Amino acid sequence: MNAIEGRLRPLIDYIRGNRQAQRLALFAVLGLLLWMTAFHIFGQLSDLRSRMNLQEDRFRRLAQVVHKYRNEPQQEAARAPVGDVLSALSSLIDQVGIKERLVQLSTSSGGATLQLERLYGEELATLLQEMDRRGLPLLSAELRSVPYGEARLFACSLLVGGERR
Strand (E) or helix (H) holding 144: strand 138-148
Confidence label for 159 from pLDDT (cuts 50, 70 and 90): very high
With cut-offs at 50, 70 and 90, classify the pLDDT of residue 144: very high
Q: What is the tens place of the pLDDT at every residue in 1-56?
A: 678 888 888 888 888 888 888 888 889 999 999 999 999 999 899 889 999 999 99
Q: Is 6 helix (H, G, I), strand (E, B) or coil?
A: helix
Is pLDDT above 80 for 139? yes
Looking from the CA of 119 toward its CB, the CA atoms found within 13 Å total 26
The rounded mean pLDDT for the chain is 86
Domains, in order of start, for the chain: 2-71 (no CATH), 82-160 (3.30.70)
pLDDT in tens, 69-88: 888 776 554 454 555 888 88
The pLDDT of residue 165 is 44
- The mean pLDDT of 103-116, rounded to a whole number, is 88
pTM of this structure = 0.49
pLDDT at 107 over 90: no
Task: Give pLDDT, residue 38.
Answer: 92
Q: What local confidence, expressed as pLDDT, does residue 83 receive?
A: 57
Average pLDDT over residues 89-116: 90
Q: Is the pLDDT of residue 131 over 80?
A: yes
Measured between alpha carbons, how far is 19 from 24 in angstroms, rounded to an integer?
9
Cα–Cα distance between 48 and 125 in angstroms, integer?
44
Share of the chain above pLDDT 70, in %: 91
Q: Of residues 159 and 12, which shows the higher confidence score?
A: 159
